[in-house]
Amino acid sequence: MSIQLTDNVSKAARRDILDLDQKINSFRSGDIADEAFRKFRLTRGVYGQRQPGVQMIRIKLPYGRITADQLIRIADLSDRFATGNLHATTRQDIQLHFVKLGDSPQLWAELEDAGITLKEACGNTVRNVTGSARAGIDPLEPFDISPYAFSIFDYFLRNPICQDMGRKFKISVSSSEKDSAYGFMHDVGLVPRMQDGQRGFKVMLGGGLGAQPFPAQTAFEFLAEEKVIPFIEGVIRVFDRYGERVKRHKARMKYLLNDIGLDELLRRVEEETLALRVQTLPIAEKLIYPTTVGIDDLTPSASPIPTSDNPKFNTWLRTNVFEQKQSGWYAVQLRVLLGDMPADTARALAQLVKQYAADDIRVTVNQGYLLRFVRPEHLPDLFTALDTLGLAEPGFDTTADITTCPGTDTCNLAISSSYGITRALEVLMRDEFPDIVFNDDIKIKISGCMNGCGQHSVANIGYHGSSLKNGAYVLPALQVLLGGGFNGKGEGLIADKVIKIPSKRGPESLRTLLRDYEANGFDGEYYSDYYARQGKNYFYQLLKPIADLKTLVDSDYIDWDHTEQYVTEVGVGECASVLIDLVATTLTEAGEKLDWSREALAEGRWADAIYHAYNTFITGAKAALMSRDIPTNTQHGIVSDFDKTFAGVSSPNGADFHEAEGDFKTLVFSINKQEPAETFARQFVAQAEAFLPAIQAYRESQIELEGLPVLQELSQAKDS
């Protein structure tokens, strides 16, 4: 089936979509190995599910912004290609599940027609740029960060410096000092500040979650706004060059920062300054993102909010509605259980937005939605309409509003159910702690495994899926984490792992924790401060009876939402096998990068041409080292090892790789010694054009002398 593309699809997106379609066909015919295809499709937002033959599609929404028509388009596509469900994530994306691989190009084409992309929503690149949902209307903000979040997203989209990094890279932009976008757990976290009348940001570096969470370190208390994007580019270039690439669990920026220290990292970033695409990039004057599209009359209403004797409306008003910094206008926050919204509900919500609010919906970091610029006199009618859709549950972003990942419902990595325990905990709080919908201090977050998509490590009370062994039997478990999130000083904290308990005892653990806090917490004491005051051992002893395996019952061996006995498994996976020549595959990648370099050169994109040429050197050198069974790691290590190994070696095509040790390193790392101007770009690309054929000739000669290589067996995904 040919892909239908409209005139609204940009040239760059058109090529990406057709390229995805072509790669899918090559993959099905066995011409491309799984590892190469996996890297390719992930950076196009196509992610293999736990179930064989279907994909999760991640839709990239910078700072969570979406219009009513875009929401309708996603809902319609979910009905056509997926399950009719829209899953909001903690990174303000929307995910569609159970999509056939072959349908993903057409789905993407129809998203691009509506101004939405999948590009770089997954994979080892810059992921979605998250931002405070309240940006632009936040009473506490020094200025609207929306244009900055969008510009960061736009600058790094399809940028050569971040297309093939060792691991993913995450950026957040908060709207105020409250850091509601959780900058302290990001590779780069930005908090807006004013200094002497100038806009700028506090800059944090090297935060991250996963099995070993790290809080970010403060690089600058204030960096002028026009220097922020160039600085981030420098950080990414350093991470790309020096970051781990083989040991996946050590490949995040947080480990590089931990290894070399902040001062050394900043020194290396400074070394990149000359080579940056731009030295400064002012934003505020360049882009003012519309926040009130769809409002015919911007005159604020002088009407008060109508009174009501409906207790649910009054509770909803207190917990889900706030007055914007624009006096007379109100924002409405939607609590969405599990982050899941049926397509019909999404379409109905879009119509309510068109009727009552600005055409500027924000997906929130706690998996809800925020509507903006609602008149006070419209709040009762909007509440009634939302309540009919099941979208007027009180307690948005309170203790009762749990953040969770999909867990074993769809994820390959999940160990136990996230959705089931989330439902059970929310029922517990509704029945036994009804007033908890007014508590916005304690945040509960749940992940299906230690990787942290549910952000359990920055929760005041967190859980992640695990397992426990009891004799010959295994049961589903929850690792309990406490003390993360924000304390009374507004400081972001990483939670402690306290104890592991059987999953079915999750409600009992939460009941115990909440009752203990009610009984022993000081008036107004933040939960994380209470945890710090009592200490980890206090909570270990408190929860220890719940962890006692001597008191297990049969139901403890069955996970939430299941009826069968629990077994530990990491999904069905994307498996079958294929034999490939890894060196040949790597050389093919190098050739693609050289083609991109030539294309950028022809279009006058000098900085892009230089970086693509740099990647040609790196990938070609990696292939040569692999041909000699020399392990490769960081890009810097590849250059150094190639420099030592191939000094004075001649290619069969008559070219010396380099005459003396140090020459290759000098050549490749000249990338940050020159401005990205035309003369250097043409010279550098020409050198790459000479280098790659020499490597290819060397490999052909090696095969003639030594015979065909032993093919490597890799897993190959199947498509239904």
pLDDT value, residue 572 = 38
DSSP, collapsed to helix, strand or coil, labels residue 325 as: coil
d(CA 504, CA 354): 43
Tell me which of 570 and 329 has the higher pLDDT. 329
User: Which of 16-20, 189-193, 377-381, 411-415 is the least confident region?
Assistant: 411-415
DSSP, collapsed to helix, strand or coil, labels residue 209 as: coil
Question: Does residue 315 sit in the same domain as residue 433?
Answer: no
As for how many domains the chain has, the answer is: 5
> Does residue 4 lie within any of the structural domains?
no
485 is written with which tokens? 């999130």
DSSP, collapsed to helix, strand or coil, labels residue 354 as: helix
> Does residue 394 lie within any of the structural domains?
no
Which residues, other chains included, contact 404 with Cβ-Cβ below 8 Å and sequence gap of 6+?
338, 339, 367, 418, 419, 422, 445, 446, 447, 454
Question: Does residue 420 sit in the same domain as residue 448?
Answer: yes
CB 434 within 8 A of CB 399: no
Neighbour tally for 126: CB within 10 Å: 25
Enter the pTM of the model.
0.92
Q: Among 96, 113, 130, which residue terminates a domain?
A: 113
Question: Does residue 377 sit in the same domain as residue 407?
Answer: no
Question: Does residue 708 sit in the same domain as residue 600?
Answer: yes
Q: Among 255, 275, 295, which residue terminates a domain?
A: 275
Confidence of residue 313 (pLDDT cuts 50, 70, 90): very high
Question: Does residue 600 sit in the same domain as residue 678?
Answer: yes
Domain that holds residue 109: 11-113
CB 20 within 8 A of CB 9: no
CB 236 within 8 A of CB 156: yes
pLDDT value, residue 655 = 63
Tell me which of 316 and 706 has the higher pLDDT. 316
Half-sphere exposure at residue 322, Cβ-oriented, CA atoms within 13 angstroms: 15
pLDDT value, residue 295 = 59
Q: What is the strand order of the sheet 85-88 is part of?
A: 46-48, 54-59, 94-100, 85-88, 340-342
Q: What is the CATH number of the domain that holds 699?
A: 1.20.120.330
What is the DSSP track for 513-544? HHHHHHHHSPTT--HHHHHHHH-HHHHHHHHG
Across all residues in the chain, what is the average pLDDT? 91
CB 240 within 8 A of CB 162: yes
> Does residue 123 lie within any of the structural domains?
no
Q: What is the CATH number of the domain that holds 362?
A: 3.30.70.3340
539 is written with which tokens? 């909570």
Question: Does residue 52 sit in the same domain as residue 29?
Answer: yes
38-77: per-residue pLDDT in tens? 888 988 889 888 888 899 999 999 999 999 999 999 999 9
Closest by Cα among 47, 43, 35 to 715? 35
Question: Does residue 425 sit in the same domain as residue 498?
Answer: yes
Question: Does residue 374 sit in the same domain as residue 430?
Answer: no
pLDDT value, residue 1 = 63
Q: What is the DSSP letter of 564?
A: S
Question: Does residue 615 sit in the same domain as residue 678?
Answer: yes
Q: Calculate the alpha carbon distances from 253 to 271, 448, 501 in Å.
A: 18, 23, 32
Q: What is the CATH number of the domain that holds 202?
A: 3.30.413.10
Question: Does residue 407 sit in the same domain as residue 552?
Answer: yes
Closest by Cα among 142, 156, 141 to 196? 142
Whether the per-residue pLDDT at 664 is higher than 50: the answer is: yes
Question: Does residue 595 sit in the same domain as residue 669?
Answer: yes
pLDDT value, residue 653 = 67
134-171: per-residue pLDDT in tens? 999 999 999 999 999 999 999 999 999 999 899 999 99
Q: Among 275, 300, 334, which residue terminates a domain?
A: 275
Whether the per-residue pLDDT at 711 is higher than 80: the answer is: no
Question: Does residue 667 sit in the same domain as residue 691?
Answer: yes
Whether the per-residue pLDDT at 637 is higher than 50: the answer is: yes
User: Which of 154-158, 211-215, 611-615 is the least confident region?
Assistant: 211-215
> Does residue 118 lie within any of the structural domains?
no
> Does residue 337 lie within any of the structural domains?
yes
253-296: per-residue pLDDT in tens? 999 999 999 999 999 999 999 999 999 999 865 554 445 555 55
> Does residue 292 lie within any of the structural domains?
no
Q: What is the CATH number of the domain that holds 59?
A: 3.90.480.20
pLDDT value, residue 429 = 96
> Does residue 119 lie within any of the structural domains?
no
> Does residue 268 lie within any of the structural domains?
yes
